[in-house]
């Protein structure tokens, strides 16, 4: 076959190019529409951003703070913050301009601006001899609780505390933070303590003693009483907070659920060896009743306020309540039941009525309603309008939304493994969730997995 001339070859090549050009341009268009994946360095440095979601999504990622750890789930644009060490709880301020995160193992309370999520303050929970002025009159105990470790009176207020939950009083002026235990009390058998943070300056202004293993704090509707619930021995301490000066706050009563647990010589895991393991705590809207969940003993115990009379317990509502909340109208009491994977609710009026016929006794009471939300729900929170209930679901690594009117799950979102804490913004437009993590024995060597994460979601 005769060779092709040079002009003929050029014409052939141009013909091929004209044929391929439309396909080339179409491929470029497709690539320009593909999502842009940030590099690991960009993910660590970029500020929190809202991920693109399908139209109509009800739970939209809107920001994340994390300290790197194996097995995490990260939002695009998540920000590294080494202070996020085992975050246990999260609370929005009343004006929605700040978020307080209690980092349990970091022994710090972290304060962030919102919605920017810029770190404003790091409040440490370690005390030395120079901090003696934070302990009014050198107080080391309350209600006669003895120390089984560090009996030297000069050193009892030298310790580090692991911050657990939190609550605001005085219209948001003070933030109360109980400590799981004092660092020298490895078995959490003696008095622990609780910090009072002035949110105007974000520093601790007083530390008060508590009973063993305090976990929950609740403030009465009229801001006159604060209840601190002791997981460690079946008791609840009441504090008069009617003054505006934290130096005037003082204990008034120690309430006992049926029997006070003797902590002398207790051994083993105190998260299990805790009597009724009291946790969820709420005041009724009129302030006349204090309700306390019995996570190990079953049901909810009720005390008359202000007298402190034990009115009894109702048990059918939830056999293992962990966290308690009331809807804004005070009509329904809600509980998360981690053991059974449900959220339960009951008419508050019906539950209280069930105790009147048998005062001081445990009764079945109303059954209420139960809704499956996944494996091991932990903290729950309700929206300001009462239409949505949110749950951090530890075993399923989910943020779950419940439509309270239809009483059904209306949305859910994957979160970093082992979520525990939860908070709803005062306007109801955002939900914050903390993932604490846990020790993974399947890793070699065993190491903590998941957790070390605070995630923010916008909700519609």
Q: Please list, in sequence order, all residues whose beta carbon lies within 8 angstroms of the beta carbon of residue 165, skipping any fewer than 6 positions away.
A: 88, 89, 102, 177, 178, 215, 216, 217
pLDDT category, 20, cuts 50, 70, 90? Answer: very low
Determine the average pLDDT of the residues in 341-346: 97
Paired strand residues for 6: none
Over 60: is that where the pLDDT of 21 sits? no
pLDDT reported for residue 267: 77
Which of the pair, 13 or 300, is modelled with greater confidence?
A: 300
Q: What is the pLDDT of residue 447?
A: 78
Model pTM?
0.87
Residue 1 reports pLDDT greater than 80: no
Q: What is the mean pLDDT of the chain?
A: 88
| Per-residue pLDDT at 16 exceeds 60 | no
Q: pLDDT digits over 29-38, tens only?
A: 433 333 332 3
Assess contact for 254 and 236: CB atoms under 8 A: yes
For 289-307, the pLDDT digits (tens) are 999 999 998 999 999 999 9
Q: Is residue 269 very low, low, confident or very high in pLDDT (cuts 50, 70, 90)?
A: confident
Tell me, letter by letter, the H, E, C secondary structure of the chain: CCCCCHHHHHHHHHHHHHHHHHHHHHHHHHHHHCCCCCCHHHHHHCCCCCCCCCCCCCEEEEEEEECCCECCCCCCCCEECCCCCCEEEEEECCCCCEEEEEECCCCEEEEEECCCCCEEEEEECEECHHHHHHCHHHCCCCCCCCCCCCCCHHHCCCEEEEECCCEEEHHHCEEEEEEEEECCCCCCCCCCEEEEEECCCCEEEEEEECCCCEEEEEECCCCCEEEEEECCCCEEEEEECCCCCHHHCEEEEEEECCCCCCCCCCCCCCCCCCCCCEEEEEECCCCCEEEEEECCCCCEEEEECCCCCEEEEECCCCCCCCEEEECCCCCEEEEEECCCCEEEEEEHHHHHHHHHCCCCEEECCCCCEEEECCCCEEEEEECCCCCEEEEEECCCCEEEEEECCCCEEEEEEECCCCEEEEEECCCCCEEEEEECCEEECCCCCCEEECCCEEEEEEEC
What pLDDT shows up at residue 23? 41
Q: Which two tokens stand for residue 207?
A: 């530390």
Reported as a pLDDT band with limits 50, 70 and 90, residue 57 is: low
pLDDT of residue 39 exceeding 60: no
**What share of the chain in percent tops pLDDT 90?**
79
pLDDT tens, position by position, 402-448: 999 999 999 999 999 999 999 999 999 999 999 999 887 777 788 78
Question: Chain-centre distance of CA 274, in angstroms?
Answer: 21
Cα(219)–Cα(9) distance, rounded to whole angstroms? 88
Share of the chain above pLDDT 70, in %: 87
Distance CA 62, CA 49 (A): 6
Structural domains of the chain in order of their starting residue, each with its CATH number: 48-459 (2.130.10.10)
Query: Mean pLDDT lowest for which of 46-60, 262-276, 302-316?
Result: 46-60
Between CA 167 and CA 109 the distance in angstroms is 13
Say yes or no to pLDDT of 329 above 90: yes
Choice among 50-64, 290-304, 378-392, 407-421 with the minimum mean pLDDT: 50-64
């Amino acid at each position: 076959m005769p060779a092709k001339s040079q002009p003929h070859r050029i014409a052939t090549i141009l013909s091929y190019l004209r044929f391929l050009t439309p396909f080339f341009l179409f491929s470029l268009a497709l690539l320009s529409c593909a999502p842009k994946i940030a590099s690991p360095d960009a993910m660590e440095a970029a500020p929190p951003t809202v991920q693109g979601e399908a139209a109509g999504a009800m739970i939209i990622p809107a920001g994340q703070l994390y300290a790197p750890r194996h097995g995490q789930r990260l939002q695009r644009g998540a920000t590294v913050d080494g202070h996020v060490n085992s975050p246990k709880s999260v609370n929005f301020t009343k004006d929605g301009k700040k978020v307080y995160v209690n980092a349990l193992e970091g022994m710090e309370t972290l304060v962030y601006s919102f919605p920017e999520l810029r770190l404003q303050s790091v409040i440490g929970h370690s005390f030395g001899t120079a901090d003696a002025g934070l302990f009014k009159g050198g107080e080391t105990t309350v209600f006669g609780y003895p120390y089984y470790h560090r009996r030297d009176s000069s050193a009892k207020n030298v310790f580090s505390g692991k911050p657990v939950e939190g609550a605001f009083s005085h219209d948001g002026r003070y933030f109360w933070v109980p400590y799981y235990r004092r660092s020298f009390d490895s078995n959490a058998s003696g008095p622990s303590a609780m910090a009072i943070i002035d949110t105007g300056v974000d520093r601790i202004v007083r530390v008060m003693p508590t009973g063993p293993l305090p976990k929950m704090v609740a403030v009465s509707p009229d801001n006159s009483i604060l209840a601190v619930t002791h997981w460690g021995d079946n008791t609840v301490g009441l504090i008069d907070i009617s003054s505006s000066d934290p130096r005037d706050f003082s204990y008034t009563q120690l309430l006992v659920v049926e029997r006070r647990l003797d902590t002398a010589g207790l051994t083993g895991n105190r998260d299990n060896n805790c009597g009724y393991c009291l946790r969820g705590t709420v005041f009724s809207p009129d302030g006349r009743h204090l309700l306390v969940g019995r996570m190990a003993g079953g049901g909810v115990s009720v005390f008359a306020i202000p007298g402190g009379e034990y009115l009894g317990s109702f048990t059918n509502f939830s056999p293992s309540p962990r966290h308690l909340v009331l809807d804004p109208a005070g009509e329904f009491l809600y509980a998360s039941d981690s053991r059974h994977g449900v959220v339960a609710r009951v008419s508050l009026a019906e539950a209280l009525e069930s105790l009147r016929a048998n005062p001081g006794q445990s009764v079945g009471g109303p059954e209420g309603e139960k809704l499956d939300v996944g494996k091991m729900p932990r903290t729950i929170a309700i929206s300001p309008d009462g239409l949505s209930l949110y749950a951090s679901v530890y075993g399923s690594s989910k943020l779950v939304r419940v439509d309270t009117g239809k009483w059904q799950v209306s949305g859910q979102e994957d979160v970093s493994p082992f979520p525990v804490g939860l908070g709803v913004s005062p306007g109801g437009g955002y939900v914050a969730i903390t993932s604490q993590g846990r020790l993974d024995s399947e890793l070699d060597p065993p190491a903590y997995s998941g957790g070390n994460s605070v995630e923010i979601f916008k909700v519609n």
